[in-house]
Chain A
Amino acid sequence: MAKLHISTTINGEPEEFLCAPDETMLDVLRNRLSLTGSKEGCGSGDCGACSITLDGTLVCSCLMLAAEANGREITTIEGMADGETLHPLQQKFLEEAALQCGICTPGMLVAAKALLDENPNPSETEVRFWLAGNLCRCTGYDKIVRAVLDTAADMREAAQ
């Protein structure tokens, strides 16, 4: 099967890769581009561990064909921190122990950032429903939801 040549932007940098027509974005990120921060928990769009954004929209990279990235902009967990400075969500997750094993954490952070980009002042219910597509089996979500709410409050304050 002939490979497709894809030109895209990943975490702000131009990127080119060859992929099979049926190859998922997740497999290309992990196996061809060494961006293993996106995780495969299910391969069926149910767990959210592979969450990325495509032109700013939150998607499960396991449900996206890599070929769809052509001419679009992708961000992954690897693009979340600003150099040495962690994103406020990353910092808050550490301070509030919002991770235990850490396998869901990259996807959870990418999804939470997408929420705050869209809604800087979410209610607890809005956070819970937004993150309902990101499974965590360790925490019971309590500290994750608190960390997202607390980050949102900090970011609102900082923006004033």
Chain B
Amino acid sequence: MSGSDNKWIGENTIRPDGADKVTGRAAFAADSSMSGMIWGKVLRSPHAHAIIKGIDTSKAEALPGVKAVMTAADIVDFPTDTPVPLGIQDMRWMCRNVMAREKALFHGHPVAAVAAMTEAIAAEACKLIEVDYEVLPHAIEIDDALAPDAPILHDFIEFEGKPSNIAGTIEHTKGDVEAGFAEADVVIERDFTTRPVHQGYIEPHACLVSVAADNKTTIWSSSQGQFMVRAMTALLTGLTQSDIRAIPAEIGGGFGGKTIIYLEPLATILSKKSGRPVKMTMTREEVMRASGPTSGSKSTVKIGAKKDGTITAAEGLYWLQAGGLPGAPVRGAVGCALAPYDIPNGHTLGYDVVCNRSKVAAYRAPGAPIGAFGVECVLDELAEELGMDPLDLRLKNAAKEGTEAVHGPVYPVMGYVESLEAAKAHPHYSAPLGPNQGRGVASGFWFNAGGESSAQVNVTEDGNVVVTTGHPDIGGSRAGIANICAELLGIDYKRISVLIGDTATIGFSNLTGGSRVLFASSIVVTESTNKVIRTLCELAAKIWDIDPDAVEWEDGAARPAGANAGQFDPLTLAELAARANETGGPIGAGAQINTTGAEGGFGTHICDVEVDPELGIARVIRYTVLQDVGRAVHPAYVEGQMQGGAAQAIGWALNEEYLYDKDGKVDNPGFLDYRMPVASDLPMLDTHIIEIPNPKHPQGVRGVGEVPLVPGLSAVRNAVYNAIGIRFNDLPLSPPRVLAALDVREAAE
């Protein structure tokens, strides 16, 4: 399907869920209520690290209005010695994360939960629960957790034969890095740190759960995957999956942070115990203390190159904070770090380090921005050392079709070089800069994902279409799906409704993550729609009494395929639907496919900053995102992904970080002090869409949403260097840090 022939693919249509979203009618998780509903509340650990010796809930249970109390004893225990993987999670860790079992592992870790007639009574009851803690020393930062005398979080974790906070490693090796560095004319090695940052979705976690007397369970919740909610809740509560109907509410932002559950199993158990529907919502403070974030990291990156810029070897060592239970996104860091480059000798190694913080959750290209940060900063310095333009250095070493990546795969057709060339040619790259202004560039990669998806396409009796898929829509994917279905059927996209099915109404679909939704759902929607078209042609053939192969579907109607097929007036979708009863019955088809062929995505960012030397504020004044998206099915939402990713990267680079007090407690658990970008912090975010169709996808789609977070950290940091001549290797470049560095330099002068 070529771009120029398309009527709907590539159009900025109005999203099917749009009117509800601008009028306040769209139902997010906290907007649901149910007859007889009561409220649940969580009691959280006041200690960063403590053994739970006993819990007495009797006083809470006796409080009038309290209907149920639960602790970890009510949750299915998965022994620590037997892995039970579910997606990127392991139920051994999930059962200990949703509620502390042997130990409280971070300040804010749930230890009990109460359901009561009102939220206020539930909160009061939580205060009456007596927990006997044995407080232990805690380790918040990576160096604390790796120190020889570090408090060990888990006695079942050993590394190199000793009790350790290192829960695992992932390593990639290609060629011989020592030999490669020996060939280099210039070798640069630097140490970096990045801070944990929260996904920052504006909608706190929320759910409403009803468990009936026969165990039939309905869950309304905000998540990136209703099937993930069903599976995890079933495993943690002992219910069977067929008894649980998980309904995806509209999701108020996820960014990876809702690929995991917190409240659903607690509300399910409280509902079962109380015999009432239970609603639970997190406060923002609870979100900040006990959900997400992504890992903080430290890393050492070393790159060697010849005088002409050819990279001979590269190495990256990474330590990522997992939080209280294993599972830092090490794979993303070590896999994506060197992925944009054709490197003969490469080595990456990452460590999964547990510490007394909330368990990390996925965050947009999990681990990849951490991996790329050091690499893209060292490349910037290398370019300067070699006297090369930083984009030329990247072009010289850019991975292309046929390149064997350090993390293993051999690349297919892809548009990384095109993103660099577009950046070089972009007016932004040659625009003049003023005083205290600087420009930085960086590139990034994300794996993208395929996986299981299901769709059903049904033709209504009046000749319109309802499409149901199984993925929560977090950024406008329903609009893209409507465009694709309209294109295939040759009808107006307004005649197509796109819905997200619940676990009882659509087949299994893996969660919304890995930039997979439009990629995977358009494969199953295409398959389903093509089946529907085949049926429509058969119905027309029956009416005309000709061979079905002699009928073709074009421009919204069945037509005889050429003169030999006979002379018949076209039969439209509406006409065929009206006669369906006499010609064969309901018209509809589904597809369930484990999709493959997602292929990685690449992008390059250009960032201009202006640094206020008096205040230390680095302000982004111009930003351009250039990315190969395969095919932009709905360009405005593709741009939106690129802009949103860049904004999150700017926040990560400049301001966002958790502040912990000496007791291991987050000191800034709110939006006032945890400073995400606001409208007045940012300029317009320009985008440049590159379309090199993915040959393994019917519409050429590549994942889009995660790549744009990856380059931004270093693009901002490299711009600050260009502005003031100071290379910061520790994020964020917040005003106090920039000011301190300027003061140090002034003192030295």
Contact = CB atoms under 8 A, between A and B. Distances in A.
Q: Which 9 A-B pairs have the closest CB atoms?
A: A37-B24, A103-B252, A140-B647, A97-B636, A46-B671, A102-B21, A77-B24, A140-B643, A36-B31
Contacts of B172: none
Contacts, number: 179
Interface string B661-690: 000000000111000111111101100000
A140 B253 contact: no
6 contacts: A36-B24, A37-B25, A86-B22, A102-B22, A135-B678, A143-B640
Contacts of B508: none
A153 to B, nearest CB: 16
A80 B644 contact: no
Interface stretch (A2-10, A64-72, A124-132): A124-132
Interface string B477-491: 000000000000000
Nearest to B255: A137
Contact of A101 (B18, B474, B682): B474
A102 B250 contact: yes
B679 A90 contact: no
Interface in A104-137: 104-106, 109, 124-125, 127-129, 131-137
User: Chain A: interface secondary structure?
Assistant: loop
Interface string B237-267: 0000000000000111111000000000000
A33 interface: no
Given A100-B640, A125-B680, A140-B646, 12 more contacts: A36-B27, A39-B28, A43-B284, A46-B672, A49-B202, A78-B23, A78-B24, A101-B252, A132-B680, A136-B679, A137-B255, A141-B677
A101, A103, A134 — most chain B CB neighbours (10 Å)? A101
B336 interface: no
B55 to A, nearest CB: 28
B97 interface: no
B646 A129 contact: no
A66 to B, nearest CB: 15
A150 B680 CA distance: 18
B253 A141 contact: no
Nearest to B39: A31
A139 interface: yes
Contact of A81 (B14, B23, B253, B639): B23
A94 interface: yes
A129 B678 CA distance: 9
B680 A129 contact: yes
B644 A104 contact: no
Contacts of A137: 199-202, 253, 255, 644, 647-648, 676
A150 to B, nearest CB: 13
B420 interface: no
B637 A106 contact: no
A105 B647 contact: no
A41, A46, A77, A103 — most chain B CB neighbours (10 Å)? A103
A141 B682 contact: yes
Contacts of A125: 680
B302 to A, nearest CB: 33
Contacts of A36: 24, 27, 30-31
Interface string B252-286: 11110000000000000000000000000101100
A100 B671 contact: no
B26 interface: yes
A138 interface: yes
B684 A138 contact: no
B680 A128 contact: yes
Interface string B638-668: 0110011011100000000000000000000
Contacts of A103: 28, 201-203, 250, 252-253
Nearest to A41: B202
Interface of B: 12, 14-15, 17-19, 21-28, 30-31, 33, 199-204, 250-255, 281, 283-284, 474-476, 634, 636-637, 639-640, 643-644, 646-648, 670-672, 676-682, 684-685
A18 interface: no
Contacts of A151: none
Contact of A138 (B31, B204, B636, B640): B640
A40 B30 contact: yes
A132 B252 contact: no
B253 A101 contact: yes
Nearest to B18: A94
Given A80-B23, A97-B12, A140-B643, A42 B679 contact: no
Contacts of A90: 22-23
A128 B680 CA distance: 5
B292 to A, nearest CB: 12
B24 to A, nearest CB: 2
B14 to A, nearest CB: 5
Interface in A31-69: 31, 35-44, 46-47, 49
A152 interface: no
A39 B680 contact: no
A28 interface: no
A157 interface: no
Nearest to B472: A101
Contacts of B254: 101
B26 A140 contact: no
A96, A99, A124 — most chain B CB neighbours (10 Å)? A99
A95 interface: yes
Contact of A94 (B19, B474, B639, B681): B19
Nearest to A136: B202
A29 B44 CA distance: 28
A127 B284 contact: no
A94 B418 CA distance: 31
A100 B679 contact: no
Contact of A100 (B14, B26, B284, B474): B474
A19 to B, nearest CB: 13
Given A78-B24, A102-B21, A137-B648, A145 B672 contact: no
Given A43-B283, A44-B672, A143 B14 contact: no
Contact of B23 (A44, A77, A97, A144): A77
Contacts of B643: 139-140, 142-143
A105 B516 CA distance: 25
A75 B284 CA distance: 25
B56 to A, nearest CB: 28
B9 to A, nearest CB: 16
A146 to B, nearest CB: 8
A47 B31 CA distance: 18
B226 to A, nearest CB: 16
Contacts of B253: 100-101, 103, 137-138
B648 to A, nearest CB: 7
A145 B684 contact: yes
A154 to B, nearest CB: 16
A136 B17 CA distance: 18
Nearest to B673: A46
Contacts of A145: 679, 684
A136 B681 CA distance: 12
A109, A133, A138 — most chain B CB neighbours (10 Å)? A138
A94 B479 CA distance: 11
A8 B30 CA distance: 25
A23 to B, nearest CB: 10
Contacts of B476: 97, 100
A39, A95, A128, A137 — most chain B CB neighbours (10 Å)? A137
Contacts of A86: 19, 22-23
A157 B281 CA distance: 44
Nearest to B649: A140
B684 A142 contact: yes
A141 B647 contact: yes
A129 B44 CA distance: 37
B202 A131 contact: no
